[in-house]
Structure 1
Amino acid sequence: MPKPTPETLARMKDVVGPKGFVDDAAEMAPYLVERRELYVGRAAAVLKPATTAEVSAILRIAHETGTAIVPQGGNTGLVGGQIPSGTGEEVVLSLSRMNRVRALDAGNNTLALDAGVTLAAAQTAAEEAGRLFPLSLASEGTCQIGGNLSTNAGGTAVLRYGNARDLVLGLEVVTASGEVWDGMRGLRKDNTGYDLKQLFLGSEGTLGIITGAVLKLFPRPQSLATAFAAVPDVASAVKLLRVADAVSGGMVTAFELVPRIGLEFVVSHVEGASDPLPDVSPWYVLIEMSAGSATAGLDETLEAVLAEGLEQALLSDAVLARSEAQRADFWRLRETLSEVQRLEGGSIKHDVSVPVSAMGAFIARATAEVTRAMPGVRVVAFGHIGDGNVHFNLSQPAGADKAAFLARWGEMNALVHGIVREMGGSISAEHGVGQLKRDEIAATKARVEIETMRALKRALDPKGILNPGKVV
């Protein structure tokens, strides 16, 4: 890609105005580094448009001049998809100023908003109308809806409500040439041809830039029941999930796996965190159920699940949250698990999925293989067991050199991902592809899949200016 000329940058600055144009190195720095510092890029400028019309004008200039554009939301991505390359020739387009809630239709259970609205703000808007937007992530105070949709984010409620792509009815997208597709329709049935929004959901800004969305809302739960249970192994956790499904009739909202080592990390590093149970167990699950009625009797239902689990020897102990504060304590154990790993030194990440029925076998086999390859490595396998997504993370051996450990990232990825593929899984369950996994999916996906993806890229972005070097 050609480096944008001063004239090109001046034209873009005219579009966004002084408040929307950043070219000072210190001010640009936060936009150029990934949160784990795996990727640090350079940029000719950072643009912060305030409207869809401004995004359109920027892309018309970019298309005309061949300027590469890297879209960015809250910069919480974990695969480098939002970070420019090191050439300094790309322009970062931040959607952070596009943060307007456009409309909320409680009767239609829909919320229309700009792409730069944070996930937490979207949740709050829904809550104020007595509704629920169920997407929930640890980074929800910072991550933005546009980034959530462009990466098809998952989170803790996928089991009940689906991934981000399942929560969208309509989109507004600016194409590579600067045209605006207004697909902001709040329809649940529209059988008039190709479902174009699905092309852009999960495409990480390589096919078009999402500037607005119509999201599905749901009745706000009036009752919750939450428990923290000790299980002997992952296979028992999966069986307990099926018991919970059967006993509750489908009211399980979240079913999260927590390893003993992860619990110990959280208790060691998070002030006020404590072990909910008196005896040590190798594994735990956090179970939550929700219902629309305050009289649904969820505590009794969850107690019945736990009793059946004890009867079948699927769990050894459990505690039911008896207050909102206790529920919040349980969730803090799970939600801080990702962050505390950095306090234990280097961490090699794997965001993978396998069939739910294979979770136990995968974790056991992968643990044995990485331990054989790297004695002393501390396996921290946790995540959304209800949908088969496990964050199979590796913390460096105690006392090991962090740099030397992280230098083996590719080796460990190859080992773990090889097992995932053998078991019919995916090497990216919810974080996306970005830069981190681009070459690997090109080498492992079927030729027809990759060629179809590349054909779509050529058709929608013929000059290759949208987030170059990412995904395909």
Structure 2
Amino acid sequence: MNDLITRLRAAVGASNVLTEGDLSAYEMDWRKRAQGKALAVVRPASTGEVAAVVRACAEAGISIVPQGGNTGMVVGSTPDASGRQVVLSLTRMNRIRGIDAGNLTVTVDAGCVLQNVQEAAEAAGFLFPLSLAAEGSCTIGGNLGTNAGGTQVVRYGNTRDLCLGLEVVNAQGEVWEGLSGLRKDNTGYDLRDLFIGSEGTLGVITGATLKLYPLPKATLTAWAAVPSMDAALQLLGLAHRHLGAGLTGFEVMGQFALSLVVRHMPQLRVPFQAESPYGVLLETSDQESEEHARGQFERLLEVALEEGCATDAVVAENIAQARALWNVREHIPLAQAEEGLNIKHDISIPVSKIPAFCAETDALLQREIAGVRLVNFGHMGDGNLHYNVQAPEGGDMQAFLRDQEERVNTLVYDQVQRFGGSISAEHGIGTLKAEKLPHYKSPVALQMMQAVKKALDPQNIMNPGKVLG
């Protein structure tokens, strides 16, 4: 191992090979569900350095765990406990390589923090629409590795839909230079899409060319109180008809989820929380004018009130009010953490089936586990729910997690499968769901995935144990 450490230091500089001291920021996942032990944490500053690190590890037979901001939810970017894995942290690779205004693209290092990419695009007069709660710390490489979603998927799609090209170091330490800004390239297999969503198991993403959009003339936010999940679905249909492509966000939040924000973040004002079973947060973007956007929005809400799918509504009058509404939505996970241990599910269901899924699964869980509390919220516009299960109030939360997590997961995932959904919508599989995947994925699909893994990473050194177990 000393020879490998010597080679790694030669590749990236001795100060960027960490082997001693507190490495928990790299070895522990964000939710503190697991902590491993790294042989070393290596921090390259360029694609060439990444390639040199991968070659050295491949020759030594040492596996690599690529890591960005380490903000993942499924223990996908932390090492195992063996002490024989190298954590490859890309946070020093944080350059905005260039903006092509004519092509509406930006090319960036994989270690760029998402918020920095958003700000660079805005400074140049453009929008990079990927937006999620961890945008101040997550990195583009991690977003691509997990095919992150966020709040604007209903209009712009997942990270996959926002990427035109990649630069990747493969498992042999070779560099694939695929940073094309082409929107049409029909020359064989789409290698880009193999690496997006692969969670570092096929290679290391080191750079990306991403789509940009013109900045909208106006962006408006509204909050609607809705009496049921069926009503939320009806409101979503009205929003599509009235706003068309202008609908950029549609978030649904259950009353209990919002009550946790009221309890633990009293500085945040939650509209209509006490009297409404659900809240819906809507966002529209308009290329014409704020007046035009407001007129469309207000007409939508008038119709929703007339038809009964909304019982009350408020439109933000300025950016500060809009930010305040979004803060409520974004603080639900933090409020849930303050409430105590919980079981998280990042699922997707065909949008039309969401009301039936929630009604049946809510009843099932409450029947099977007395006192269980359901924290249901998420991106209803694209069918993605964070369907979380909180321990009964006043109970032993550690015991609940220990005794009930497997049972709760099985109940929820069986329901997801029955409704034609997916057990992972935007967080990935990591190690947390790797054992579950064979139960809910087609055997043929798994065989094809395993064949791709074996072909691209025959030594199994790229993030082993993740996704395919």
- Kept in 2, the 8 Å contact 1:204–1:434? The answer is yes
Secondary structure (helix, strand or coil) at the match of 2:38 reads coil
Aligned mates of 2:452, 2:272 — CA distance in 1: 52
Secondary structure (helix, strand or coil) at the match of 2:411 reads helix
Structure 1 residue 355: Cα displacement: 0.3
1:241 is the counterpart of 2:241: no
* One of 461, 464, 467 as aligned partner of 1:468: 464
Aligned mates of 2:230, 2:459 — CA distance in 1: 49
Structure 1 residue 431: Cα displacement: 0.2
Structure 1 residue 443: Cα displacement: 2.8
- Kept in 2, the 8 Å contact 1:233–1:283? The answer is yes
Aligned mates of 1:304, 1:151 — CA distance in 2: 38
* One of 335, 339, 358 as aligned partner of 2:330: 335
Structure 1 residue 432: Cα displacement: 0.2
Aligned mates of 1:293, 1:20 — CA distance in 2: 50
Distance change >3 Å, CA 296–CA 166, structure 1 → 2: farther
When the two structures are superposed, what TM-score results if normalisation uses the length of structure 2?
A: 0.98
Structure 1 residue 88: Cα displacement: 1.1
Structure 1 residue 369: Cα displacement: 1.2
Structure 1 residue 277: Cα displacement: 3.1
Name 1:373's counterpart in structure 2: 368
Aligned mates of 1:19, 1:182 — CA distance in 2: 28
Secondary structure (helix, strand or coil) at the match of 1:249 reads helix
1:430 is the counterpart of 2:426: yes
- Superposed CA deviations along residues 329-374 of structure 1, whole A, max 9, x for unmatched, are 1100101111111100111000001100011111111111111121
Aligned mates of 2:170, 2:91 — CA distance in 1: 19
Name 2:406's counterpart in structure 1: 410
Aligned mates of 1:294, 1:111 — CA distance in 2: 26
Name 1:140's counterpart in structure 2: 135
1:272 is the counterpart of 2:267: yes
Structure 1 residue 270: Cα displacement: 2.0
Name 2:192's counterpart in structure 1: 197
Structure 1 residue 324: Cα displacement: 1.2
Structure 1 residue 196: Cα displacement: 0.8
Name 2:105's counterpart in structure 1: 110
- Kept in 2, the 8 Å contact 1:35–1:75? The answer is yes
* One of 12, 17, 20 as aligned partner of 1:16: 12
Structure 1 residue 294: Cα displacement: 2.4
Name 1:284's counterpart in structure 2: 279
Name 2:448's counterpart in structure 1: 452
1:167 is the counterpart of 2:158: no
- Kept in 2, the 8 Å contact 1:277–1:319? The answer is no
Distance change >3 Å, CA 458–CA 296, structure 1 → 2: farther
Aligned mates of 2:417, 2:273 — CA distance in 1: 38
Name 1:395's counterpart in structure 2: 390
**Greater shift after overlay, 395-404 or 195-204?**
395-404
1:320 is the counterpart of 2:333: no
* One of 245, 248, 251 as aligned partner of 1:250: 245
Aligned mates of 2:456, 2:446 — CA distance in 1: 15
- Kept in 2, the 8 Å contact 1:99–1:118? The answer is yes
Structure 1 residue 452: Cα displacement: 0.4
- Kept in 2, the 8 Å contact 1:47–1:92? The answer is yes
Aligned mates of 2:163, 2:329 — CA distance in 1: 27
Name 1:182's counterpart in structure 2: 177
Aligned mates of 2:176, 2:270 — CA distance in 1: 51
Secondary structure (helix, strand or coil) at the match of 1:439 reads coil
1:363 is the counterpart of 2:334: no
Structure 1 residue 274: Cα displacement: 1.3
Structure 1 residue 463: Cα displacement: 0.2
Aligned mates of 1:138, 1:153 — CA distance in 2: 11
Secondary structure (helix, strand or coil) at the match of 1:64 reads helix
Superposition pairs for residues 222-241 of structure 1, below 5 Å? 222-241=217-236
Aligned mates of 2:291, 2:316 — CA distance in 1: 16
Name 1:150's counterpart in structure 2: 145
* One of 120, 126, 137 as aligned partner of 2:121: 126
Name 1:54's counterpart in structure 2: 49
Size of the alignment, in residue pairs?
Answer: 467
1:86 is the counterpart of 2:85: no
Secondary structure (helix, strand or coil) at the match of 2:460 reads coil
Aligned mates of 1:21, 1:295 — CA distance in 2: 52
The one-letter code matched in structure 2 to 1:314 is C
Structure 1 residue 444: Cα displacement: 2.7
Distance change >3 Å, CA 34–CA 279, structure 1 → 2: closer
Aligned mates of 2:431, 2:366 — CA distance in 1: 27
Structure 1 residue 263: Cα displacement: 1.4
% identity of equivalent residues: 49
Structure 1 residue 271: Cα displacement: 4.8
The one-letter code matched in structure 1 to 2:261 is V
1:72 is the counterpart of 2:62: no
Aligned mates of 2:233, 2:5 — CA distance in 1: 55
The one-letter code matched in structure 2 to 1:347 is N
Secondary structure (helix, strand or coil) at the match of 2:388 reads strand
The one-letter code matched in structure 2 to 1:18 is A
The one-letter code matched in structure 2 to 1:380 is V
The one-letter code matched in structure 2 to 1:81 is G
- Kept in 1, the 8 Å contact 2:348–2:421? The answer is yes
